[in-house]
Structures are given as structure tokens and as C-alpha cells.
Structure 1
Amino acid sequence: MSGYRPVLDAHHETITIDANDDVVRARQLVRTLAQRCKLSLVDQTKLVTAASELARNTLVHGGGGVMRTGLVREDDRVGVTAVFEDNGPGIPDVELALTDGWTSGGGLGLGLSGARRLVDAFSLDTEAGRGTQVAVTKWAR
């Protein structure tokens, strides 16, 4: 869907998302990185909220998967990237899934479109029967 492909540094961390506790751990790790990156409190909250929604999607809709996260640098700026991957059924109707207000239920009610609005960069790579990868980045200002 998007040409954006973040490159995590060699020190990124990976969390397996197979249970509700893993969603909590993913959220906590993203918050720690956002603080380390010196994101504002508002931007920390936006990124953590998006990561929480995407981790829950990975678990519920993808049947589990992984989150890879870490600090990223581009030119003279630094940010936090989180990449969520699963081998689930994929998203058959990407346009619908990215429609504001659409949710399949069970999450924070943000859906993918809400997560996309909360971050500075967003990419979605999915295909029915092939799984899904969503990458988000929030840049320090």
C-alpha cells in the first residue's frame, strides 16, 4: 500500500505476540523507547495508542505474530518505529479496513485508520491468505 519502509537499527527488539500479556509488553516497550527518544508526552501517547491497537490486531486478527521495534534515524531526525507482522488470513478489503470509523470490534475502536492518523509514517502490506505487516513511525520534534 505504501512505499514507506522503515529501517530499524541493529539494536531493535522483538516481542512475540501470542497472548494479551504480550500486547501489554509491546505497549510498555514502545513507551520506553518513545521516552528514550524524547518524544513529547502527547506524541508518546499517540504512538503507544497506535502500537496497542496494532498489537491487538496482530493477536486477534492475525492469530499472533511479532513486533519489531527500535529507534530510527533519518537525516537529522530520530524517531521510534514499530513493525507488526503476522501470518494470518490477511486483509481482504484494505480500502474498507482503512475507512475512518470502521472496526471489526474488540480493539480500542480506532481501527487501522485511527492508528494511521496517530503516527507520522504508516505502511500496510497485506494480501488475503498471506498475512499482514504494518509499520509505524513517530518522529521526535
Structure 2
Amino acid sequence: YRQVDRCSCEFPAVHPGRHVVGPADEVPRYTYLMANDSGVRVPFTHIVKADRLGERRQSVGFPGRTVCEPCFVPRPDAAAEDDGYVLVQVYDPDRHATAFSVLDARDLAAGPVCTLDLGAFLPNAFHGTWCEAVYPSVPEARL
């Protein structure tokens, strides 16, 4: 093992087609994490995209808010592992309200593509994954 990032992070998410790993070339390259990218451990206020090959790292912050575990959603007919969206639940303590932000997985730093403000508090959620169909077979789940 080798360290690929120094930020405080938790709850990694990868492309759902890479959850079941076969040959070495199918090991997930990109991991999306809830993190704190400002040098302190908590609270988690950022989403980080870590590149296992160490070629590129991206981060997007939500100042004054906290984030939950990200969820990767591939675009239909995606050709690349990171061709899709990252969904993230965002809590605003000043308003005691929750929103869902949608990020372009290839350009996290651009910020949300869109945000759905619930206007109410939704308790933190975690351990979710995107699934177009319930229990797809392994060959169908791969890129």
C-alpha cells in the first residue's frame, strides 16, 4: 500500500461497476471521498477525487456546511471510469437544512452542476451506491 493523499477523509466511493474487481486493470482508478481539505481533521466540508495513479487530484469545498458520503453515478454509455456525476448530501447548520448537490465527476472544482435544496433537515446518510437495476450481473455492471 502507498499513501495517495494527506487530507482527512472517510467513506470512499467508486464507480459502481468497479465494486466487483476482476483483473488488475479493473481496479478502480478514481475514488471519491468526503474530506476536510483545509488541514484540520473534521468536520468534513469537501469532496475529494483521488487518483490511484497520482496523476490528478481534485477537490470542491462547501464552506460553512458539512458533506456526507459521496455517491458516483455513471452516465449512460460512459466510456471512461470517471464519466458521470457525484451526488452528495450537504448540511447547512445555519439554516438547519439539507441539500443534494450534483457534481461533474471529471471537474469537481467547477462546483455543483445543480443543487436540490430540500428546505428541511435530513439526517446524515451513508453507505449508498447507485444501481440502475437491482442486482445487475457482474458482466453487465462493468464498464
Structure showing the higher helix proportion among its residues: 1
Question: TM-score w.r.t. structure 2 length?
Answer: 0.34
Larger Rg: 2
Question: TM-score w.r.t. structure 1 length?
Answer: 0.34
More relative contact order in 1 or in 2 (CA 8 Å, sep 6+)? 1
